[in-house]
Amino acid sequence: MAGLSLRCGDCGAHLKSVEEAQEHAELTSHTNFSESTEAVLNLVCTACGKPCRSKIETDLHTKRTGHADFVDKTSEAAKPIELEAPKAPMESEESAVAPAESNQSEEMVVPEVDKNLLAELESMGFPTARATRALHFSGNSSLEAAINWVADHEDDPDIDQMPMVPVNTQAETGKLSLTPEEVKMKAQELRERARKKKEEEEKKMEREREKERIRIGKELLEAKRIEEENERKRLLALRKAEKEEEKRAREKIRQKLEEDKAERRRKLGLPPEDPEAAKPSSTVVEEKKSFLPVRPASKAERMRDCLRSLKQHQKDEDAKVKRAFQTLLTYVGNIAKNPDEEKFRKIRVNNPTFQDRVGSLHGGIDFLEICGFQKLDNNEFLFLPRDKVDMAVLNSAGSELNSAIANPFFGVL
């Protein structure tokens, strides 16, 4: 199959003619070219008709004009490449077409342009043919005029073809009007404008990146908030399930007690208990209360009530309750082991550790007072006198504390 393009082996670019390959070699110093069956892309903008030869060109065109629709006409424009030496075109952009009846064709040459301006344009990245055409048709006046001409004619199909003019026209071309100093000033001005434009684009890109960082930060915060909300809902559901489980456990225990009671009545030969009859009326209760003597609560029961109150007031902080119970057990155990040591029988109430573990909790100080501690010096100290140390009371306190620590249902049922 005939070659449809020339491929640069150094950078991979596809070129559609020998002229383009020569210009590419002059600009890049690449010399490794080979014939390729892959045609040069021809993506035509449906809005303005501009041809683009790569995805990069289409992206730049879209960014500059907003046109985003392109038609692939690569197959229509593809044709076998001519590997013969390129021939100079026979007409320029503004030269008139020779009459059909002319017997001789006028000799055409490349127009002379300012070499310094041409070098400046080439250093800025313009191909030699495009820079020569721009200088020629802008009148060799300035770099700015040449660049403006390129901007106005970048869609011309022959923008990268070397301009040709008749010999007579070339001979009549006037001399340049700018001095070398003016050319340098113009070039410096253009470079400065290009630098400022690049800085503005970089600032714009930085603003876009900052906006993107802010957007990502907001999304991360929102995701974290949703995750925390889901975790809170999960904990609430778990706590509700635990309460339901405790409720079922209490009901099961109650049913078991009722069954045991009914079994005992059956073994004793008593009739089953009537639930309605088993409930004494309020009047009967009041009468019983009024006639029966009330047994005062023992110290062990009062201790148990203090511990139960402490647990219920801190029902959502099991670790804190357990630490309070263990601290009280330590106080009681130290006194029981060393009753003569005053340091174990005297507690500073405003001590931060004591306040955090026992003093600030409901029922903590009351428990110690039941054990025999007394408040001294305007409630600044809790003190257990040596003669008030009761080993039976301390042993009861230790038993109640151990039971509260070991029983998972303590204070719940």
Using one digit for the tens of pLDDT, what is the confidence trace for 179-207?
A: 667 667 877 887 888 889 889 999 999 99
Distance of alpha carbon 20 from alpha carbon 18, whole angstroms: 5
Selected residue with higher pLDDT from 16 and 258: 258
Distance of alpha carbon 217 from alpha carbon 211, whole angstroms: 10
Judged against a pLDDT cut of 70, whether residue 131 lies above it is answered with: yes
Predicted local confidence at residue 23, as pLDDT: 80
Give the pair of three-digit tokens for residue 118: 């041409």
Distance of alpha carbon 113 from alpha carbon 128, whole angstroms: 11
Q: Which of 257-271, 332-346, 373-387 has the lowest mean pLDDT?
A: 257-271
Distance of alpha carbon 84 from alpha carbon 89, whole angstroms: 15
The pLDDT mean for the chain works out to: 80
Averaged pLDDT, 368-392: 89
Predicted local confidence at residue 109, as pLDDT: 81
Predicted local confidence at residue 141, as pLDDT: 77
For residue 157, which of 93, 241, 239, 232 has the smallest C-alpha distance?
93
Distance of alpha carbon 328 from alpha carbon 304, whole angstroms: 13
Q: Which of 222-231, 270-279, 320-329 has the lowest mean pLDDT?
A: 270-279
Listed in order, strand segments (DSSP E) in 278-411 are 346-348, 374-376, 381-383
**233 falls in which pLDDT band (50, 70, 90)?**
very high
In this structure, are residues 27 and 8 in contact, taking their beta carbons and an 8 Å threshold? Answer: no
**88 falls in which pLDDT band (50, 70, 90)?**
very low
**383 falls in which pLDDT band (50, 70, 90)?**
very high
Predicted local confidence at residue 225, as pLDDT: 92
Q: How many CB atoms lie within 10 A of CB 204?
A: 10
Distance of alpha carbon 108 from alpha carbon 87, whole angstroms: 11
Distance of alpha carbon 159 from alpha carbon 155, whole angstroms: 7
Q: How many CB atoms lie within 10 A of CB 4?
A: 20
Judged against a pLDDT cut of 60, whether residue 11 lies above it is answered with: yes
Distance of alpha carbon 137 from alpha carbon 98, whole angstroms: 20
Residue 82 to residues 7, 10, 85, 88, 159: CA-CA distances in angstroms? 14, 21, 8, 14, 20
Q: Which DSSP letter does residue 386 get?
A: G
User: Which range is most confident: 28-42, 269-283, 329-343?
Assistant: 329-343
What proportion of the chain, given as a percentage, has pLDDT over 90? 20
Give the pair of three-digit tokens for residue 139: 């009148």
Angle at CA of residue 178, ends 172 and 184, nearest 5°: 140
Residue 140 has, within 13 A of its CA and on its CB side, a CA count of 18
For residue 351, which of 341, 342, 359 has the smallest C-alpha distance?
359
Using DSSP bridges, classify how beta strands 381-383 and 346-348 pair: parallel, antiparallel or unpaired. antiparallel
Bridge partners (DSSP) listed for residue 34 = 7
User: Which range is most confident: 81-85, 155-159, 384-388?
Assistant: 384-388
Say which residue the tokens 């048709």 belong to. 137
Predicted local confidence at residue 90, as pLDDT: 46
Report the Cα 155 to chain-centroid distance in Å: 43
Distance of alpha carbon 375 from alpha carbon 313, whole angstroms: 23
Question: For the chain, which domains are there?
Answer: 1-85 (no CATH), 109-178 (1.10.8.10), 299-406 (1.20.58.2190)
Instruction: Name every residue whose Cβ is closer than 8 Å to that of residue 148 and which is 6 or more positions away in sequence.
Output: 138
Bridge partners (DSSP) listed for residue 382 = 347, 375
Distance of alpha carbon 377 from alpha carbon 383, whole angstroms: 10
Using one digit for the tens of pLDDT, what is the confidence trace for 239-280?
A: 899 899 899 999 999 999 988 888 888 887 777 776 665 555
H-helix segments, 268-317: 275-278, 282-291, 299-313
Distance of alpha carbon 121 from alpha carbon 113, whole angstroms: 12
pTM check: above 0.85: no
Angle at CA of residue 89, ends 87 and 91, nearest 5°: 160
In this structure, are residues 149 and 137 in contact, taking their beta carbons and an 8 Å threshold? Answer: yes
Q: How many CB atoms lie within 10 A of CB 164?
A: 19
